[in-house]
A and B are shown apart, each in its own frame.
Chain A
Amino acid sequence: MAASSRRDWLRAAARSVLQLGATPALLTACASFERAGRFVSAEGLVLPWQRVGSRHIVVVGALDDPAPENGGTSGNVGLIIGRSASVAVNGGSSAAHGRALLALARELGAAPVRAAVVTQPLPQQVMGLAAFDDAGLPICATDGTAQWIAARCGTCLERLRATLGAERMAGTRIVVPALRPPADGVWQVGDLLLRLPRVGHAAGPDDLVLHDAADGVSWAGALGEVGRLPDLRDADPLALAPAIEALADTPARWVLPDHGPPGPPSALRGAADYVRALEREVRRGLDDGKGLNELLRAVTLPAWSGWVGHDRWHRRNVQAMVLRLEGRALDEDVMPG
């Protein structure tokens, strides 16, 4: 899908969902959860959580990658709690993380978790899926995400085991989601009426976002990075900024990013601005005849130097952008700049 039509389509989908069935009854029927809390799982994982809207619980994880210092709980996972059913959003970075999220749902007295949804095949979204699979819960993801998990996440698991240790990763295995988003994008789980528009290849190979019209809350997955540089390793660098901008334009009251605090949709723009600036600088360098080595040195984007990951994956992002522009030049018979 072309970037402009993808953007228009995403906007339209978001608008339609936010007009979809936002009944006062639903809004007032929400559970009376506390605004925030701190849950310690039986396995010792600390989950600081907060309520967003009336029925979304987000467990705000570390901005950095999974590491022993953060107990492996990188990134945000959460729950959408209806009257008759709850849904988990992303699985966490280990089976223990996934189990902790399910335990948090019980602790909060939430309606039973009936399904989990995975927005991208990233470690913090995928590695905890064994907990949901063990509980017999269906896991929903796009075709592209499921295929990617099957093909590539095994290596990722090995690396994560080496990083976090066998004890922290006990019971963690690769689970390939079997459930696909409905073709019309409307997903009903118990009384929860959610919209799962498929974005395509942007942040990951086949992105999914989740809108809850009734509550005015959207889950951005890896299209939402706040205070942390987007990692373009598996992204389509040319599709990412338009996709983020489309999400930033949604009329939701809250957007829950993959990393960073919940906020208004406009909070996503910083990451889009970074990708735009990266594309602009790399194009300029290519036009000037710079090679990859030179571009890696020249494109520094210091305005984002305070963001987590700038010191570690910004250069990799430069390389990803160069390769994407060159790939486009070959595919479309245009110049790479």
Chain B
Amino acid sequence: MCPVEPDPVAGLAPAWPPSAAPAASAARSRRRVLWHAGLIAGGAVLAALAPVSTLAQIKSGDNPDASPNWLKIRASLFGERQIAAAEAGVLQLETPVRAEDAAVVPVGVRTRLPVGGEHHLQKLWLIIDNNPSPVAAVFDFTPQSGRADLETRVRIDEYTHVRAVAQLSDGRLMMATNFVKASGGCSAPPGKDQAAAMASLGRMKLRVEGDVAANQPVQAQLMVSHPNNSGLAMDQLTRQYTPAHYVRTIDVRYAGEPVLKADLDISISENPNLRFYFVPRTAGELTAHIVDSKDLSFDGGLKIQPAAL
């Protein structure tokens, strides 16, 4: 049976992951949705009661609409709302068919959807059906984003459908789905030992790609040193699970204006890495404010002087 989601508002710590503190920020309601969907689907996976036909479907990737975990996540996040299949080029998900490393699977989202004006892309969910916590990330875009393309890296625990669900400003939903073959990503041992990881915790690097022209979308990359412990990896020496400790939110701004906000979860790989766009209109600083699941916060910035067109 699925555990019932604890109410963070009431000050009760979630049963899993063990170190997750109650959210005290404005992201609380979003977080609740993440937990809700995660626990429902996680319970479904752990129940191991799936009939043979379900398992066969998971392994083959056939019929993404019938994925049992997806049906639960869909009901939790979107209720009865219609979700259209994204047209090619309008919303596209870029993933490997078979991951090289299940703990670091590159995921790209490419869209032709605007981030401002009428019918713009407001929010994007990145969902990994068969992960213990399936809602890997929720991104909020603003007109300062310029383009809604992004890339990040995720853990994948077993063969699964990966989905990008976009919500437009008029409330419409559209979805792109890929099937990815990978397993063991959420419980994989970290690439860096914990002492070294904690020594560089929160160190970050922001960079921009190419020339920066005023009022044009510029691609940027944010790299953060953080173990992003999932809570599912066992230290074979101590036989203890390393408690969950992961980046929970990333708030990117340019010249003080919001560019992109990301609500993240344990599915994001060690050393979170995010590539995104922003539009520099004047000279300013690109900043990132990061809060993790222990309510530790980290800040970084990069001064930008765009060239006039």
A319-B100 in contact given A152-B189, A291-B106, A330-B200 (Cβ < 8 Å): yes
A68 within 8 A of B: no
Question: When the two chains form their complex, are residues A154 and B236 in contact, meaning their CB atoms are under 8 A apart?
Answer: yes
Contact: A330 with B275, CB < 8 Å? no
- Do residues A293 and B151 form an inter-chain contact, with CB atoms below 8 A? yes
Asked if A151 contacts B100 (CB within 8 A), the reply is no
Stretch among A45-53, A213-221, A321-329 lining the B interface: A321-329
- A326 to chain B: which residues have CB within 8 Å? 223, 271, 273
Q: Quick one: which of A249-302 are within 8 Å of B by CB?
A: 289, 291-293, 296
Given contacts A150-B236, A151-B236, contact A329 B223 (CB under 8 A): yes
* Cα–Cα, bound, A331→B223 (Å): 11
* Least Cβ–Cβ distance between B143 and chain A, in angstroms: 23
A315 contacts the other chain (CB 8 A):
yes
The segment from B24-32, B169-177, B203-211 found at the interface with A is B203-211
Measured CA separation A296–B236 after assembly (Å): 31
* In the complex, chain A residues 12-26 whose Cβ is within 8 Å of any chain B Cβ: none
B94 and A293 contacting across the interface, CB-CB below 8 Å: yes
Q: Is A67 located at the chain interface by the 8 A CB criterion?
A: no
User: Assuming the A-B contacts A151-B189, A319-B101, A319-B104, are A330 and B225 also in contact, with contact meaning beta carbons closer than 8 angstroms in the complex?
Assistant: yes
Residues of A within 8 A of B6 (CB): none
Residues of A within 8 A of B191 (CB): 323, 327
A152 to B190, CA, bound (A): 11
Q: Is the CB of A293 within 8 A of B108?
A: yes
Contact assessment for B192 and A150 in the assembled complex, using a CB-CB cutoff below 8 Å: no
- B235 cross-chain contacts in A, Cβ below 8 A: 151
A316 touches B223 (CB 8 A): no
A36 at interface by CB-CB < 8 Å: no
Q: What is the bound-complex CA distance between A67 and B25, given in angstroms?
A: 52
What separation, in Å, do the CA atoms of A155 and B236 have in the docked complex?
9
B65-87 interface with A by 8 A CB criterion: none
Q: Known contacts being A327-B192, A331-B200, is A291 close to B108, with CB within 8 Å?
A: yes
Query: Is A41 on the interface with B (CB-CB < 8 A)?
Result: no
**Shortest beta-carbon distance from A191 to chain B in Å:** 37
Cβ of B237 and Cβ of A329 under 8 Å apart? Answer: no
Please give, as numbers and ranges, the residues of chain B lying within 8 Å of A292 by CB-CB distance: 106, 151, 153, 273
B153–A147 CB distance below 8 A: no
B96 at the interface (CB under 8 A from A): yes
B240 to chain A: closest CB distance in Å? 12
A29 located at the interface, meaning its Cβ lies under 8 Å from any Cβ of chain B in the complex: no
Per the bound structure, the CA–CA distance linking A333 and B189 in Å amounts to 25
Contact of A27 with B by CB under 8 A: no
* 13 A–B pairs (Cβ distance < 8 Å), ordered by A: A291-B221, A292-B151, A293-B108, A293-B151, A296-B96, A296-B106, A315-B100, A319-B101, A323-B271, A330-B204, A330-B225, A330-B271, A331-B200
Binding site for A on B (CB under 8 A): 94, 96, 100-101, 104, 106, 108, 151, 153, 189, 191-192, 200, 203-205, 207, 209-210, 219, 221, 223-225, 235-237, 271, 273, 275
* Across the A-B interface, the 8 shortest Cβ-Cβ residue pairs: A289-B209, A292-B106, A316-B100, A151-B236, A293-B106, A330-B225, A291-B151, A319-B100
Given contacts A293-B108, A326-B271, A330-B203, could you give 10 more A-B pairs where the C-beta distance is less than 8 Å? A151-B237, A155-B236, A291-B106, A292-B151, A296-B100, A315-B100, A319-B101, A323-B271, A326-B273, A331-B203
